[in-house]
Amino acid sequence: MNQKIRETYRQLAQSTGLSMDEQTGVLHGQYGGYQLLIAPYVFRGNTYYYTPSISVAACSASHMLSKAEGKAYKKERRNVSLFQEENRLLTLTLKNCKNADKFCAITVEELRNLTSWLRMNGYENCCQMCGKLTQTAAYYVSGFYSQLCPDCAQNVSQNAVLSRQQENVKKESLIGGIVGALLGSLLGVLSIIILSQLGYIAALSGVLMAICTLKGYELLGQKLSTRGIVICCVLMLLMTYFGDRLDWAILVSREFAVGIGLAYQSVPLLLSEGVIIASSYWGNLALVYLFVLLGAVPTILNILKNRENAGKIFQLQ
Ligand SMILES: [Zn+2]
């Protein structure tokens, strides 16, 4: 969270009376009789700071927010982009607004609407995990914000310590990892060939190559270490070259009615003789590499981020 965004959230904290957690910039506390939390909206790993999401852990004996009702609520209020209830968590997401004053005014207005709606429908604060109607506190749990009762908070932290220990004890199997990555990258090769034979050089095949290779390593290697990621990257580079050349070989073997092995071997010769046009060969290869890169970078960043967040738990201050 940069300084400007932080100031916007601080301003919102002042006008709502909520506390701001200095570490994360997230707001939490009591508003209109409800314990709630305001955090930036996160979608597919991206954080949208100017799109605030209000969440309340609450349940009602007489009411359950349906999808249709959530849609109707949104339709009535032009600043709301999403309203839903899922596993005792009600989430109200607002539309993007970059002007700090407007951001605060709209959020306060929607907070009022939300809390009166909750009251009207008989909602009471509860623990997000066990559903007990009791005093809760806001926690950061492995990349998510939760409102937990003291018992659940303690359980969650104990479990996190345990799973971290298990993770540390778990040994990476290098051989298994390499076999898994190899099998995964073969799936990637297959997708390059199939999609290309259908007439596409698709970004999808690059993404599949990256995900299949990394997941293959993790599945058979038990654990994906940084060393594993490097091995996967090398494999991806080699197998993408192999896949692309095999794709040309299929073309050559069909065109000249020769076996696929011979066709594969003769690709460099055909290139130097100009039978395969060099610019289209290398251009095609570069494009496939670009797509692998587009698939691999977000996947690897996601893995690293999840690893960093896993088992990270603290109470918001
Ligand atoms: Zn609980």
What's the chain look like in SS3?
CCHHHHHHHHHHHHHHCCEECCCCCCEEEEECCEEEEEEEEEECCEEEEEEEEEEEEEEECCCCCCHHHHHHHHHHCCCEEEEEEECCEEEEEECCCCCHHHHHHHHHHHHHHHHHHHHHCCEEECCCCCCCCCCCEEEEECCEEEEECHHHHHHHHHHHHHHHHHHHHCCCCHHHHHHHHHHHHHHHHHHHHHHHHCCCCCHHHHHHHHHHHHHHHHHHHCCCCHHHHHHHHHHHHHHHHHHHHHHHHHHHHHHHCCCHHHHHHCHHHHHHCCCCCHHHHHHHHHHHHHHHHHHHHHHHHHHHHHHHHCCCEEECC
Q: What is the mean pLDDT of residues 18-38?
A: 92
- Residue 284 and residue 202 share a domain: yes
Predicted pLDDT of residue 121 = 93
**Structural domain ending residue among the three candidates 135, 163, 191:** 163
Predicted pLDDT of residue 224 = 85
- 192 occurs within a structural domain: yes
- 223 occurs within a structural domain: yes
- 27 occurs within a structural domain: yes
- Residue 191 and residue 144 share a domain: no
Cα 138 to ligand 1 centroid, rounded to whole Å: 12
Cα 74 to ligand 1 centroid, rounded to whole Å: 30
- Residue 212 and residue 74 share a domain: no
Host domain of residue 108: 3-163
Neighbours of ion ligand 1 (CB under 5 A): 127, 129-130, 149, 152
pTM: 0.66
Cα 151 to ligand 1 centroid, rounded to whole Å: 6
- Residue 25 and residue 157 share a domain: yes
- Residue 125 and residue 258 share a domain: no
- Residue 106 and residue 75 share a domain: yes
pLDDT exceeds cutoff 90 at 160:
no
Predicted pLDDT of residue 181 = 95
The residue with greater pLDDT, 172 or 41, is 41
Cα 35 to ligand 1 centroid, rounded to whole Å: 14
- Residue 8 and residue 157 share a domain: yes
- 205 occurs within a structural domain: yes
Q: What is the mean pLDDT of residues 168-190?
A: 91
**Structural domain ending residue among the three candidates 134, 163, 192:** 163
Q: Indicate which CATH number applies to the domain containing 120.
A: 3.30.1460
Cα 155 to ligand 1 centroid, rounded to whole Å: 9
Q: What is the mean pLDDT of residues 200-210?
A: 80
- 168 occurs within a structural domain: no
- 169 occurs within a structural domain: no
* Terminal-residue alpha carbon distance, the chain: 17
Cα 59 to ligand 1 centroid, rounded to whole Å: 13
Predicted pLDDT of residue 300 = 86
pLDDT band at 301 (very low <50, low <70, confident <90, very high): confident
**What percent of the chain clears pLDDT 70, i.e. is strictly above it?**
99
Cα 154 to ligand 1 centroid, rounded to whole Å: 9
pLDDT tens for residues 34-59? Answer: 999 999 998 877 889 999 999 999 99
Q: What is the mean pLDDT of residues 188-194?
A: 91
Counted domains in the chain? 2
- Residue 22 and residue 157 share a domain: yes
Cα 80 to ligand 1 centroid, rounded to whole Å: 29
- 314 occurs within a structural domain: no
Cα 28 to ligand 1 centroid, rounded to whole Å: 18
Cα 132 to ligand 1 centroid, rounded to whole Å: 6
- 100 occurs within a structural domain: yes
Q: What is the mean pLDDT of residues 294-317?
A: 83
- Residue 258 and residue 183 share a domain: yes
- Residue 305 and residue 197 share a domain: yes
Predicted pLDDT of residue 167 = 75
pLDDT tens for residues 95-136? Answer: 998 898 999 999 999 999 999 999 999 999 999 999 999 889
Predicted pLDDT of residue 201 = 66
pLDDT band at 298 (very low <50, low <70, confident <90, very high): confident
- Residue 267 and residue 292 share a domain: yes
Cα 37 to ligand 1 centroid, rounded to whole Å: 17
Cα 15 to ligand 1 centroid, rounded to whole Å: 30
**Structural domain ending residue among the three candidates 142, 163, 184:** 163
pLDDT tens for residues 221-244? Answer: 988 888 999 999 999 999 999 999
Predicted pLDDT of residue 305 = 80
- Residue 146 and residue 23 share a domain: yes
